[in-house]
Structure 1
Amino acid sequence: MLAVLLTIFMFSQGLSMDNCGTNFITAFPENIAYYFQNNHNYLKITTLYPDTDVSIIYMGNGFNNTTSISTAGVTWTFNFPKEVEEYQLISSNKSIIIRSNNNITVLSMTGWQGRLQSHVVQPEQNLRTVYTIPNLNYASIMAKFGLSVSSEVRYNSFRLLIINAVNATNTVSIKKLGTGDRVTQTLNPYFLYQLQINNTVIEVSGTDKIAVILTHPCFESKNCSCNMVMNQLRPVMQNGAVERFPITMSSTEVKQLFLTTSQSVEVAVGDLQAGSGTQVPSSTDILHLLNGVNNAPQLITTSIPISLRLISPGIILDLIPVSMFSGCFLVHFYSPNTGAVIVAETSSTASVKMNAAPLPSAPTWNVISGTEYSWATVWSGPTSATIWHPDSKIAVYTVELSISMYASPAIIINDEPDPKGCALTPGKFVVGEEDLNWTMSREYCKHNFDNLASIFRQNNQDKMAANIKVQEPTEGWIGLRRSLFSTEWYWSISDNTTTPLNFTYWADQQPDLPQRGLCASVSMALGNFTWKSAPCCSIKKPICFKNPTYLVLI
């Protein structure tokens, strides 16, 4: 990236972190950057569970394709003709609906010969009614990059595609900059409306859920060509908190860095910015954060949760804030030039996995100054891959480097790390109804769930305490017991499998002497779930665990 802009706006608290769902709606904006080639518009749909039925409906002509996919972890590519692109600034029915009986993920892509711009299509549960629009003036941005503006007036502005996401009439309100004036547009079920913004629109809202795509059909670049850009916006934020954005780029790659906002938001630039401090851009200014090659900020913090974007010819990239780091991402390597940029805690970069193995080619990790994180790039992995960390949250971007650079956040599968992989459904703690001894409790759990609960780390202990609700003081068995021969504690995983004890949460004065108890129970009386030893023949409730299910790609 030789030059970038940063744009900023507030987004909705309580948004689902993952991108999995059963209901999606999207559309393809106009793309004239590839007019001299065979243009492609397609969706990559990945099944997460077996026996998944996927329906794709193009509202423009009523086309409906339903495909049954028997296997989990399969990625299906569905191609559309160029006619599906909406090039007019009108209301139309050129939206595309994706429905399924089980959770799937959807990636929208457009381009040609490996030069593909993509964005993650957000499931219906991630959509809201209010969106703040970044302050983007196309002519001003071109001037900052030292580029000329096309003589074609209709291509001298960014655009919004506003999609009615519900099967009902939806009235969209468009708030203009400065005057506070609003223009309304009534959309029929699943219809869309495209308009030019060019630093004139600051907010879009609907009477019901909408999806909003920020796009430009031909973002001009220095090599006498242009690149189409598109990005699905996040909704408005309601409550405030400090946010941190590690920036994954080296200072030698960045020539200019700017910040724009449609609202006055307090922003502090990281310690690499000369003369750094608190900056408050107005709603109409572009704040110049960087002009040079030696002082690119690597960390930006803000006084409230926001969305922060890098913008350049070919890129509208949402930076992933620390609050949205997640446990597992899905990446599609759709060309030899496709890579994944990974951000992980510096102390645990060696633990990042791709599918079931360590990252290929031992990538070089770059420390992000002022943070506990480092970043690395992995190029040309399998056709599709999960990238995950067993213990801590990470961020992953998909990048494609050909004539120009394209980038987008990868697909989030699960926001919580899991030691065994990319968890689709989390593990679940369940308290049995009957009081049983330890041996009978283990049999009960094996028959009805997976096993007695095993607590290997602090976050397992915290989840057990958070998940289990009891109506009265009681105690429950966990899968921990002593060896009859050595009296050493171990986890009983199955009849033939044990795991050594590496984490404990004993109550005071516990565990007691072996002759007073060879099995371990949990106190649920005060909600603290501390452990104590007890005779295995004592009668207590079993605390069972249902194992997670994991995504394995085919």
Structure 2
Amino acid sequence: MSPAPRLVVLLLAARIAASQTFTDAGKDFRVIFPENIAYYHPLDAQNKIWVTALYDDTSVTMSPASSEPKQLNAGRTISFDVTQELGKLAINEAKVSDLFTVFNISDKTVRITSTKDIVIQAVSSRGRSVQSALVIPTTKLSSKYFVPPVPETEGATSGGDPMVNVTERAPFRLIIVNPDEPKASVTIKGREEIPISIEPGKAAQIWVRNDSTTQYVEADKGVAVYFSHPCAVQRQCTCGLLHAVLPPAKNTTMRFPIPPFLGKPASIMQSDDSTRGWVNSSSPLVKSAGTAIVYWPRLLLTLVPVEEFASCFMVQFIEDKKNVLIIVVHKDHKQGIHVGNDPLEGAGWQELQGTDYVSTNHSISSTTVVWHTSANMTVYHMVQQNNTWFGNPAPVVSANPDFRGCVLTPEVTMILHEAGSWQESIRSCEDQNLSLISLPSEALQKQTCRNLRGNDAKQVWIGTRRSSLTGDWYWLNRNGFNDTNWARSEPGDVSEGQCAVMSLEGDCGWKDRNCCEDARPLCYADPQLLQII
């Protein structure tokens, strides 16, 4: 293999690895369930972990657990009931002035591992106090997180000083999880610096100050950070769990579109290096390098920035409840969205005024995949229990849009550096474990042309030629030769050329050429798609 093709392969591997970092899939997760008090409800909390496999023959293990590993095929989901829950903070006789230096360390965490990629959601329910969370794989955790401002709730942020022995009057808290080896050195920074050391597999809890000072968590390794209150006052003297996974701090400022949230008013909690405060829900978009979280009296929902939109999402249906998708997409890409195998039709799109984005709500009745054929979007999964909504961003499976479905492993489209004849190009592609590209459908032709924009090659060999017996054109992969994209006045008669090149200019038209001419080969491998059930 020549040096140039080897370099192309390395670059391709890097591109695939980079695309996988934008998903919520992984093989190793550390799950926690926050204290869910709702003390007026006599039953214990019901904690569940929902695990969905993306590939066949996936083995899933929960630790600690007494059962054998569970076996799953692609698109299948299992749930684990979990009794481990982070207990109350060991406050002892701490003074209010000392609250923000008092920690509790707990080993009540659960580890989920698998042989192949999975996605995970966790749900904690106690009476009407229900919250869900998207669990991030340990390999995709970060070392810096901004802390959002504290919501205005009765008792915790109003009505006098916090009271550690009265649940509703206690401050909000951070939960910081060290998922694995080695020990984590963590510092809470803001008005002062508070250091803490967290052993592998343990979770630390600390109160959050209610002031305007920018606060953030910084660690020497990847950790998970949650913002939580076990029983925030809601209305009519009731309280319930508020819980949100904090997103990592960003390297740059990002844009967060705000969909009309099920027709009801909400506020946006925002925090980064320069801002820590609130944005009115009438704003259609906020910008931040940190957090942007929707706050309702009963819900915290982390918003997704445009720069992290994706193309395919797995949505786990919650039985016996109303399940609603909130979809946000660029206004030019309302077409192409699918829910399962069916195109999204009849959507009542609402413009986010002053932006290029629109949103819609869509009810579902079963676990499904939501995907886009040609663009990226974001999806929130909202669930209604009685008059209470809970939810989270839907787990991202892929950030690679494709007209065929939800991509697990992206297609490979690669122009090799060295030019050769059509016959030599077949062999050059095979040396890369690829094939000279066949383009039997209009959708694949358009997607390939779009993906190759800006390439320095002018034209490339593609995998079609005339039959020596009949003179008819055929594809190397033996698919039907029906949808064609010949350039004007092409192809000529049989004497003018037996093979074909594709132009990388304009609409990527084809031209017949002598098979012995030199051109660079366009090599290809199909994507691996998630089976939609």
What is the TM-score of this pair, normalised by structure 2? 0.79
Letter in 2 for 1:357: D
Q: 1:331 to 1:150 in 2, by over 3 A?
A: farther
Unaligned runs of 5+ in 1: 1-12, 266-282, 291-295
Letter in 2 for 1:368: L
Letter in 1 for 2:171: S
Mean Cα deviation higher: 427-436 or 189-198 = 427-436
CA deviation profile, 1:373-415 (whole Å, cap 9, x unmatched): 3222222321x10011101111110111232121211011111
Q: CA deviation at 1:536?
A: 3.2
- Does residue 535 of structure 1 match 2:519? no
Once residues 114 and 518 of structure 1 are traced to their aligned partners in structure 2, the CA distance between those partners, rounded to angstroms, is: 71
Matches of residues 305-384 of structure 1 in structure 2 within 5 Å?
A: 305-335=289-319, 336-359=321-344, 362-382=346-366, 384=367
- Corresponding residue number in structure 2 for 1:54: 60
- Corresponding residue number in structure 2 for 1:519: 499
Q: CA RMSD in A?
A: 4.1
Letter in 1 for 2:136: Q
CA deviation profile, 1:47-74 (whole Å, cap 9, x unmatched): 111121212113xxxx465524252211
Structure 1 runs of 4+ aligned residues shifted over 6 Å read 140-144, 146-151, 431-434, 482-488, 509-512
Alpha carbons 1:446, 1:452 under 8 Å: kept: no
Once residues 521 and 62 of structure 2 are traced to their aligned partners in structure 1, the CA distance between those partners, rounded to angstroms, is: 46
Letter in 2 for 1:50: D
Letter in 1 for 2:216: E
Alpha carbons 1:481, 1:518 under 8 Å: kept: yes
Q: 1:141 to 1:203 in 2, by over 3 A?
A: farther
Letter in 1 for 2:57: D
Q: 1:157 to 1:247 in 2, by over 3 A?
A: same
- Corresponding residue number in structure 2 for 1:461: 449
Alpha carbons 2:105, 2:202 under 8 Å: kept: yes
- Corresponding residue number in structure 2 for 1:279: none
CA deviation profile, 1:409-454 (whole Å, cap 9, x unmatched): 1011111211011111100135689956359939976995466253
- Corresponding residue number in structure 2 for 1:425: 409
Q: Residue 45 of structure 1: SS of its match in structure 2?
A: strand
Letter in 1 for 2:324: G
What is the TM-score of this pair, normalised by structure 1? 0.76
Q: Residue 498 of structure 1: SS of its match in structure 2?
A: coil
Q: 1:315 to 1:452 in 2, by over 3 A?
A: same
Letter in 2 for 1:547: D
Q: CA deviation at 1:153?
A: 3.8
Aligned length: 490
Letter in 1 for 2:223: I
Alpha carbons 2:147, 2:291 under 8 Å: kept: no
- Does residue 72 of structure 1 match 2:95? no
CA deviation profile, 1:512-533 (whole Å, cap 9, x unmatched): 8554334323689x9xx99754
Once residues 163 and 466 of structure 2 are traced to their aligned partners in structure 1, the CA distance between those partners, rounded to angstroms, is: 77
Q: Residue 84 of structure 1: SS of its match in structure 2?
A: coil
Q: CA deviation at 1:190?
A: 1.8
- Corresponding residue number in structure 2 for 1:501: 484
Of 512, 527, 530, the match for 1:548: 527
Alpha carbons 1:438, 1:539 under 8 Å: kept: no
Once residues 510 and 372 of structure 1 are traced to their aligned partners in structure 2, the CA distance between those partners, rounded to angstroms, is: 40
CA deviation profile, 1:137-196 (whole Å, cap 9, x unmatched): 65579779x99999954542111111112311221111233xxx2121111122211111
Q: 1:498 to 1:157 in 2, by over 3 A?
A: farther
Once residues 116 and 485 of structure 1 are traced to their aligned partners in structure 2, the CA distance between those partners, rounded to angstroms, is: 69
Q: 1:450 to 1:552 in 2, by over 3 A?
A: farther
Q: Residue 500 of structure 1: SS of its match in structure 2?
A: coil
Q: CA deviation at 1:365?
A: 2.4
Alpha carbons 1:16, 1:125 under 8 Å: kept: no
- Corresponding residue number in structure 1 for 2:86: 85
Alpha carbons 1:344, 1:375 under 8 Å: kept: yes
Matches of residues 207-356 of structure 1 in structure 2 within 5 Å?
A: 207-238=220-251, 240-241=252-253, 243-249=254-260, 253-254=264-265, 257=267, 259-261=269-271, 263-265=273-275, 283=276, 286-287=277-278, 289=280, 296-297=282-283, 299-302=284-287, 305-335=289-319, 336-356=321-341
Alpha carbons 2:438, 2:475 under 8 Å: kept: no
Letter in 2 for 1:37: L
Q: CA deviation at 1:202?
A: 1.0
- Does residue 120 of structure 1 match 2:134? yes
- Corresponding residue number in structure 1 for 2:210: 199
Alpha carbons 1:491, 1:500 under 8 Å: kept: no
CA deviation profile, 1:349-379 (whole Å, cap 9, x unmatched): 343111111237x342222222333222222
Once residues 264 and 474 of structure 1 are traced to their aligned partners in structure 2, the CA distance between those partners, rounded to angstroms, is: 47
Mean Cα deviation higher: 63-72 or 426-435 = 426-435
Once residues 489 and 290 of structure 2 are traced to their aligned partners in structure 1, the CA distance between those partners, rounded to angstroms, is: 47
Once residues 470 and 127 of structure 2 are traced to their aligned partners in structure 1, the CA distance between those partners, rounded to angstroms, is: 65
Letter in 1 for 2:376: K
- Does residue 397 of structure 1 match 2:380? yes
Q: 1:262 to 1:425 in 2, by over 3 A?
A: closer
Q: 1:258 to 1:416 in 2, by over 3 A?
A: closer
Q: 1:443 to 1:90 in 2, by over 3 A?
A: closer
Q: 1:103 to 1:434 in 2, by over 3 A?
A: farther
Once residues 349 and 458 of structure 2 are traced to their aligned partners in structure 1, the CA distance between those partners, rounded to angstroms, is: 49
Q: Residue 353 of structure 1: SS of its match in structure 2?
A: strand
Once residues 467 and 127 of structure 2 are traced to their aligned partners in structure 1, the CA distance between those partners, rounded to angstroms, is: 63
Alpha carbons 1:450, 1:544 under 8 Å: kept: yes
- Does residue 16 of structure 1 match 2:21? yes
Of 429, 437, 456, the match for 2:422: 437
Letter in 2 for 1:44: W
Once residues 327 and 161 of structure 2 are traced to their aligned partners in structure 1, the CA distance between those partners, rounded to angstroms, is: 34
Once residues 148 and 62 of structure 2 are traced to their aligned partners in structure 1, the CA distance between those partners, rounded to angstroms, is: 31
- Corresponding residue number in structure 2 for 1:188: 199
- Corresponding residue number in structure 1 for 2:96: none
Of 138, 144, 149, the match for 1:135: 149
Q: 1:53 to 1:152 in 2, by over 3 A?
A: same
Once residues 148 and 139 of structure 1 are traced to their aligned partners in structure 2, the CA distance between those partners, rounded to angstroms, is: 13
Alpha carbons 2:270, 2:291 under 8 Å: kept: no
Unaligned runs of 5+ in 2: 1-17, 90-102
Mean Cα deviation higher: 135-144 or 35-44 = 135-144
Q: 1:358 to 1:246 in 2, by over 3 A?
A: same
Alpha carbons 1:51, 1:71 under 8 Å: kept: yes
